[in-house]
Amino acid sequence: MKKIAIALVAATALIAGEAAYHYEVTPTFGGVKPEGNLGLKDQLNYGLRLGRNVEGFIFDQIELGIEHAPRVGIKGSSSKTDITRYFANIVKEYDVAAKTKLYALVGLGYEHLSKEFAKNDSAMFGNYGVGVKYQLINDLWLKADVRHAIKFDHGANNLLYTVGLGIPFGPKTTKPAPVEPAPVVAPEPIPVAPVVEKDTDKDGVIDRLDQCPNTPMGVEVGLDGCAKMVTLRVTFGFDDAKVQPEFMHEIEAVAAFLKAHEVFTVRLEGHTDSKGSEGYNQTLSQARAQAVAAELTRLGVKKERITTVGFGELQPVATNDTEEGRALNRRVEAKFKD
């Protein structure tokens, strides 16, 4: 009796160790069928269990219990005895459905007889069992289990079957939510006046990145500032192949570019309006291209870097139905390639 009392006190201290767990109290009612007990009859008993749900263990609950079977009959005698059983179990639960769980239990106990007789003595026992619990409403559970209690003397065993109503109380411990660190607020940046970098040749590429810093105006350049292709347009009077003085500054700029960048060549393309025959216009367009070529040669560009071609009236850039449109079509375009 002293050993079981110590065990029950230790288990009680374990259950009471933290007040923030979910507890369960279960009143029970059931029966006992003796197996090999010396002369005891079948019994009815009632009891009370106190359980505590735990986390972080291989089992889910620790329970303490007491069950009492009053006035148990003795075969062949009018005498009766009261039997009280104290026990402590660990319980493992298994979810099988939304509201249904199976559980297994194992533990130790002590059986006390108010009247001992014929080797039916008070003694410790071990018990194991299985059960099922069904959720009725909220956390209220209907429970039923079967346990086999094996006494430690004389082979006086018992089969116990009980039903009960699991009633929860007390909040269940939850792990505290992690505390998020306060966000680090970066200091406001000190405004800095923007640095405007130079683009001396006005080609859209700053001098620091410009690998061809003297590109003429109107030249299409890449990200490195070097020309990809340039187009020069010189227009002419009606039925005329003479370069007018107002276009010389553009031709001079192209000549300067070609002399500074000898990897480039130029193709001069001559065009006319639609007045006159197609054959005449072809000859006139070629003459216009050669007139611009002559100016470039005069300005120091080598002939082998210049080619000419006449397209006649085949590639108009404006309508030939108006004088303004025809004036735009009488032209030479210079296209540069590396």
Whole-number Å distance between alpha carbons of 282 and 279? 5
What is the pLDDT, as a whole number, of residue 87? 95
Q: What is the pLDDT of residue 5?
A: 44
In a domain, 278, yes or no: yes
Round to whole Å and give the CA distance between 214 and 225.
Answer: 9
Residue 115, Cα to own-chain centre: how many angstroms?
70
Backbone angles phi and psi of 142, in degrees to 5: -90, 125
**12 contacts 88 by C-beta, under 8 angstroms:** no
Same domain, 8 and 146: yes
Specify whether 226 is located in the same domain as 163: no
- State the DSSP string of 113-177: ESS-BTTB--EEEEEEEEEEEEEEETTEEEEEEEEEEEESSTT-EEEEEEEEEEEEESPPP-PPP
**The predicted structure's pLDDT at residue 172:** 57
Q: Are 165 and 277 part of one and the same domain? A: no
Asked if 53 and 172 count as a contact pair (C-beta separation under 8 A), the reply is yes
Are 20 and 139 in the same domain? yes
Closest by alpha carbon to 30, among 146, 151, 149, 148? 146
Q: Is residue 252 part of a domain?
A: yes
Buried b (16+ CB within 10 A) or exposed e, 67-105: bebeebebeeeeeebebbbbbbbbbebeeeeeeebebbb
Domain match, 230 and 288 both: yes
Co-location of 133 and 19 in the same domain: yes
- 9 in a domain, yes or no? yes
Question: Do 141 and 249 share a domain, yes or no?
Answer: no
Do 147 and 258 belong together in one domain? Answer: no
pLDDT, position 284: 94
Q: What is the CATH number of the domain that holds 161?
A: 2.40.160.20
Domain shared by 160 and 249, yes or no: no
Is 209 inside any structural domain?
Answer: no
Write out pLDDT tens, residues 96-108.
988 899 999 999 9
DSSP lists the bridge partners of residue 128 as: 106, 148
Whether 211 maps to a domain, the answer reads no
CA distances from 189 to 185, 192, 221, 246 (A): 12, 9, 36, 54
CA 62 – CA 88 distance, rounded (Å)? 7
Rounded to two decimals, the pTM is 0.46
Q: Measured between alpha carbons, how far is 125 from 123 in angstroms, rounded to an integer? A: 7
CATH number of the domain that residue 239 is part of: 3.30.1330.60
Whether residue 226 sits in one domain with residue 156: no
On whether the CB atoms of residues 330 and 315 are closer than 8 A, the answer is no
Is 6 domain-assigned? yes
Between CA 108 and CA 106 the distance in angstroms is: 7
pLDDT tens track, the chain, 338 positions: 444 444 444 444 444 444 445 788 999 999 999 887 667 888 899 999 999 988 888 998 999 999 999 988 887 777 888 999 999 999 999 999 888 999 999 999 998 988 877 777 788 989 999 999 999 887 789 999 999 998 887 667 889 999 999 988 876 555 556 677 878 888 888 887 778 888 888 878 888 888 877 776 666 777 777 766 556 889 999 999 999 999 999 899 889 888 888 888 899 999 999 999 999 999 999 999 999 999 999 999 999 999 999 999 999 999 999 999 999 999 999 887 76
Number of alpha carbons in the 13 Å side-chain half-sphere of residue 189: 3
Tell me the residue range of the domain where 275 lies.
219-337
Say whether both 237 and 163 belong to one domain: no
Does residue 122 sit within a domain?
yes
Same domain, 62 and 145: yes
At 164-176, the pLDDT tens digits run 999 888 765 555 5
Check: CB of residue 208 under 8 Å from CB of residue 223.
no
Q: What's the number of domains the chain is made of? A: 2
In sequence order, what DSSP letters do the residues of 157-172 get, joined into one string? EEEEEEEEEEEEESPP
- Which of these three, 105, 139, 169, is where a domain ends? 169
Q: Which of 158, 147, 47 is nearest to 106 (CA)?
A: 147
223 in a structural domain: yes
Cα–Cα–Cα angle for 182, 188, 194, rounded to 5 degrees: 150
Please give the pLDDT value at position 216: 66
pLDDT of residue 91: 94
Quote the pLDDT of residue 209.
85
